Structure formats: C-alpha cells, structure tokens
Structure 1
C-alpha cells in the first residue's frame, strides 16, 4: 500500500471505557469509508498532498458538534477549513489553477480568509470540506505539470512554487494538529521524506525571519542539526543577502525536527523551546526567538 494512503482515521482508537451503546464505532466506520488517498502530483508537492489527505481523514470523522467547536484564532472547525481553502486558493490563482468559493477580489490572505469564511458560514460543513478538498486536489494535479522553480506569489512574497507549496504543507499540518488536539486525537506524523523538505524550507527561511524581526545577521552563520525521522544538518548564512556559508558556524542549534517545524509554524515558545545551543548562544537564541516571524493565523 502507498504510504500516503495510511489509514489516518484508524488512529482514532476507541475509548476502552466507551459506553456500550455509543455510536462512535459506527461514526468511525463511516469516516473510514469516506477517506480518500492523496491526489497525484509532482514529487516536490507530495508533502502538501499528504497533509491534505490527513486533514481530510480527520474531517471525515467529525460530527455535527465538532464543526462548531472553536479550534484556533477564535475559528470553528468549519471556519478553519475555510481559512485553509482561502490561502490555497490564492496560491492556485497565482499559478493558474482552479479557485473555488466566492469571487476572488483580493490577493491578501486575511481579506480572502474573511470572504471565504463568510461564504462558507451559509453552507453546510460537508460542502465546505468538499470544496476545500476539491480545490486542493485540483492544485495538486496542476502542479504535476509545472517545474518546481515556477515563480509564484502569496501575500506579496515571490518565491518558487515548490517553496510556497511546502509552506502550505506546513500550515495544513499545523492546523490538522490544532484540530486533532481539540478532539483529543493523536494522528501519525508525516512520512520522513515529507518532513525533511518541509524542515529544509523552514531552515532556509531563518535569514528572512531574522531580517523581518529587525536582526541584521549579515556575515554570521548557523549550524542547525534537526534530529528524528526527516531531520538533517544545515550550515546556513544568516544574512539574507549572504552567499553560501563557510568555515565554522558562529552558533549551533540542535533540536527535534518536528518541534522546529512547528516553531516556524507559530506553535511553540522560543523561551521554553527544547534545544541544545553552542557557540554564540545569544545569536542562537535570537534565531529561535525570530523563527515564527513569518507564521500567520
């Protein structure tokens, strides 16, 4: 079986103390029947396709009360899915893929989120889920015919589409985790071969998160070691305009790869983040403190 088709909903283990007359087993059986594998796409877009399939499997298990439960940012589950659809749609528009939902009148993700959420509140949660998934699958299929270096823009940031889709993978992963935590569900981690390119994208963002936060780290370098499946090691120039890093790093950070990705995704506190720091510890702390600078709701 393709690893992307792992049965995420099977992680919703039945409570051993569940009442005998509970409908949960039937609900889970229905959810399993409605799950769908990841859409076919380019190799470099598979981390996103996998996170979409995982989120969709979680949504398949949702019942009526789940959809109105607040997950994050004051948003219900339905509004959270609308937010994902809004940002996916902006990237889709940038590369010429289909966009569902209300007429596209803005390129700003916050404004587009508000438009899509308003539109989806008048529809059923299942309609929201269906169109979010249909748009995401269409984007995946469209990307199969594009080069990774194809330019794309989202919220004024111009970058290769491969980096933008990894950012969408990270946000979808983070919000799937947000929803799963509220539901007290533990889902499997992404495949290591999907975690690694996501971590690589996060590592390459560090010079920009430093710059955006007002830290000029020109001429400074970082040795980053991320442990666990999908991890790796990076030698990074921390100046946004610097060339390739050389020589001994000025600072070193060793941390868990999943925790690092979530820190960049706006989940985690740099003050309490578990990491081993060496070399210029003050510089390393600045790197961690500024890491979430590009994360949004």
Structure 2
C-alpha cells in the first residue's frame, strides 16, 4: 500500500487502537521511523484514547491489602514474592466482579500456562485457577524453582489481572515497585531474544534500557555476546512492561532514544514478538 504522509496519517487512529491490518500496520510503523510529526500525533491519540475510557474507580482496599500481605509472607521465597502478590491481587479483583462478568477465557488461559509450574511442583487435580495458584504458592515453600520461571508467571498473572480489570471497568493497582522492578528486568531480558526472533541480532551492539518511575532501573542488553552501547532507550517502567506484553502499540509509547534511533524503534517494534498469538 502507499506510504505517503497523508495516507499514513489517515491510519494513525486505527493503528493506535490496534485496528489496522498487518499491511497497514507495517506501513504505519515504517513511516513513524522517520516522521516526528506523526509520532507526536500517535502520542496525542493514545492519550485521547485513554481519556475517553470509562471513568475508573479507586481500587478496592482489599486488593492492596492482599498484595501487601502476600509480600510480607515469611514462608514465600524471595524470588516468588512477586508471583504470590500478583496471585493475591487477581484473587481480590475476582471477588469484586459483578455476577455477569465472564472472565472464563482469561482464567482458562492463565490456568493452562500455570500448569507447567504446577507439574514441576507436583501439584495435581486442582479444578480452578484459584485452587491451582494457591497450591503453587504453598508448594514453593517446600521446593525451589528457577527464579526466571516464577517471574514469568508473575508477569503473565499481572497482565491477565490487568486485562480482566480493563474488561470489567475495574481499577487494578500496578505491582509494588520492588516487584515491578523484578518483572521489568525479566521483560528486559527478553528483548535480545525478540531481536533474534526478528533476525535483528548484530555483533558489537549493546542496548542500554533506562526505565523511569516506580520499579525503574537501568539494564545493558547485548544483542549478542559482547559489544558497545549503540542505542539508549528511556521510557516509563510500566509502559515498557505493557509494550513487551503486546498491550501497548510500540510507537505510541513515550520514549527517548539516543544513538541509533532507527535501531531503537526497530527494537520497540520487535519487543512483543515473543508473545503467543
């Protein structure tokens, strides 16, 4: 399709809400790499879309209390505290749902994904997500698992809870900063794999990722085994996590890129590549 400025401008609203066809999305993303005017328009459209969403209520205190309680549990290993807290947050959120809120599909996917962990821990025959998640938390006090695996489960549980909250017009607080930092670090570690999946890995290139706000930090990510910093990307921590989870269009994220700008935007586009479709 044509990639003229006028043609792409007419697609920006659809692209911001993930409503473009694959060909249209490719054309928009290619144009955004070189057009600051359209990038500014995308940021404005993304903000307008958020402002038009139904007004959210304050998250129930029960959700915050359960998250804090899970964080303080002395029997949960440190590497699994983020998972326990996201389980508690989702559990509290589910209790706030109305009788006609159907979240069966989301919970079924989460339950299936958690089953890998459950099998490794010897957790069997749990009928619901809640029963399985509670059994996993209990089993983690007796048998260790790789920290990266539990961060992956915390990440997906948080994203699932956020999806449910948005679908049911509830508000869900983000993970506590220490948990968000751990989740962001895990998400950052996926970026080189996403680049390799998109055949972007190049020798001697290192990406510096600077995440701001609660849970932020700085990570140096080699696209291969070694290299020098070629591009630095700075953005909000939660926004980066949502981008990597394919919940935010990459070009709508407010990001500052230094160095190889084109490579930086290509990496943002590649970020969600590992998300199962």
Deviations 1:171-196 (CA, angstroms, capped at 9, x unpaired): 11111111111222222211111011
CA distance in 1, matches of 2:221, 2:143: 28
Alignment: residue pair count:
215
Runs of 4 or more above 4 Å deviation: none
CA distance in 2, matches of 1:78, 1:138: 20
Unmatched runs of 5 consecutive residues or more in structure 2: 1-56
C-alpha deviation, 1:213, in angstroms: 1.7
Aligned to 2:217: 232
Which of 111, 117, 137 in structure 2 is aligned with 1:91? 117
CA distance in 1, matches of 2:202, 2:152: 23
- Mapped pair 1:66 → 2:91: no
TM-score after normalising by structure 1: 0.67
- Mapped pair 1:178 → 2:178: no
Deviations 1:228-251 (CA, angstroms, capped at 9, x unpaired): 111101111112xx14x5x4x100
C-alpha deviation, 1:288, in angstroms: 0.6
Aligned to 1:51: 86
C-alpha deviation, 1:97, in angstroms: 2.9
CA distance in 1, matches of 2:129, 2:207: 38
Higher share of residues assigned helix: 2
CA distance in 2, matches of 1:10, 1:261: 22
Describe how 1:19-38 pairs up with structure 2 within 5 A: 37-38=69-70
C-alpha deviation, 1:282, in angstroms: 1.2
- Mapped pair 1:133 → 2:158: no
Describe how 1:117-266 pairs up with structure 2 within 5 A: 131-147=128-144, 150=145, 161-239=146-224, 242-243=225-226, 247=228, 249-266=229-246
Unmatched runs of 5 consecutive residues or more in structure 1: 1-8, 14-30, 68-76, 102-127, 151-160
C-alpha deviation, 1:10, in angstroms: 7.0
- Root-mean-square deviation (CA, aligned residues, Å) is 2.3
C-alpha deviation, 1:168, in angstroms: 1.3
